[in-house]
């Protein structure tokens, strides 16, 4: 079993839809949770960063962490065609410096 | 966000040659940098952790004599793929950890696409 599970998609939605992206994990030591966006043939771009449980909002993006369920989510409101990319969740524990990534979910927002 | 650059962005080489990839943090200091490899439609696989002024730490299964890492300064790490072969063709991405950041965030470079003929 992988430490971090993420549905690879592709997830196709119409422009303006609310998008929900999710990851589950098995390592209870993970404390820091991140979402990255990666466009084709580019490096990942940090979108959201959350420590421990709770919600964090930044513009059209909301990140949620539920440590009791070992489940994290990224919501995108009013999705745009420019949001079409692969979204990677990543996480790490307090002591470890390297990130553990999910496999990424490919999102397509249709105009 | 902080900026990390990689050079070159794309390289094509013959089998048996060595290729050096540079990773630079442009506006922050990074005592730790990471090197990842990504195959098409797959996630990032950590190859090694590069520590400024000391030896790199390699992940299991990664040959340290093949993938030489040097972290000579707080803003520069290099990955040299020695005696490259076609199976080494991949997308190599570095990231740098902002030592001064509140959460020690990692910022990624744009990646280097290596094609070995």
The model's confidence at residue B90, banded by pLDDT at 50, 70 and 90, is very high
What is the pLDDT confidence band of residue B105, given thresholds at 50, 70 and 90?
confident
* pLDDT reported for residue B101: 66
Mean pLDDT over the full length of chain B? 91
Here the tokens at position B50 are: 């590069």
pLDDT tens for each residue of B52-89: 888 899 999 999 999 999 998 889 999 999 999 999 99
Q: Are strands B10-13 and B112-116 parallel, antiparallel or unpaired?
A: parallel
* B92 vs B27 pLDDT, higher one: B92
> DSSP letters of chain B?
---EEEE-SEEEE-TT--EEEEEEESSS--SEEEEEEE-TTS-EEEEEEEETTS--EEPTT--TTTEEEEEEETTEEEEEE-S--GGG-EEEEEEEE-TTSSS--EEE---EEEEE-
Contact B43 A103 (CB under 8 A): yes
Among candidates B4, B32, B44 on the partner chain, residue whose Cβ is nearest the Cβ of A101: B44
Q: Are B4 and B112 in contact (CB under 8 A)?
A: no
Q: Using the beta-carbon criterion (under 8 Å), do B34 and A98 form an inter-chain contact?
A: yes
CB contact under 8 A, B103 and A51: yes
- Shortest Cα–Cα distance, A16 to chain B (Å): 26
Q: How confident is the model at residue A99 (pLDDT cuts 50, 70, 90)?
A: confident
Looking at residue A41, what is its pLDDT? 82
Q: Which of A43, A98, A103 sits opposite B108 (nearest CB)?
A: A43
Q: Residues B4-12: what's their mean pLDDT?
A: 96
């Amino acid at each position: 079993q992988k430490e971090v599970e993420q549905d690879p998609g592709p997830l196709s939605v119409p422009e303006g839809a609310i998008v929900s992206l999710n990851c589950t994990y098995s390592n209870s030591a993970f404390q820091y949770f991140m979402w990255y966006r990666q466009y084709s043939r580019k490096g990942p771009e940090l979108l959201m960063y959350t420590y421990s449980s709770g919600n964090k909002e930044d513009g059209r993006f909301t990140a949620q962490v539920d440590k009791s369920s070992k489940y994290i989510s990224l919501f995108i409101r009013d999705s745009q065609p420019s949001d079409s990319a692969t979204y990677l969740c990543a996480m790490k524990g307090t002591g470890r410096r390297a990130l553990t990534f999910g496999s990424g979910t490919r999102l397509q927002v249709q105009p | 966000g902080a900026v990390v650059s990689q050079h070159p962005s794309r390289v094509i080489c013959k089998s048996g040659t060595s290729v050096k990839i540079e990773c630079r943090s442009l506006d922050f200091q990074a005592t730790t940098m990471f090197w990842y490899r990504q195959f098409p439609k797959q996630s990032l696989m950590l190859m090694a952790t590069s520590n400024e002024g000391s030896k790199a730490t390699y992940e299991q299964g990664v040959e340290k004599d093949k993938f030489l890492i040097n972290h000579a300064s707080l803003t520069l790490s290099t990955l040299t793929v020695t005696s490259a072969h076609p199976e080494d063709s991949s997308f190599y991405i570095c990231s740098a950890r902002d030592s001064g950041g509140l959460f020690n965030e990692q910022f990624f470079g744009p990646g280097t696409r290596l094609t070995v003929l």
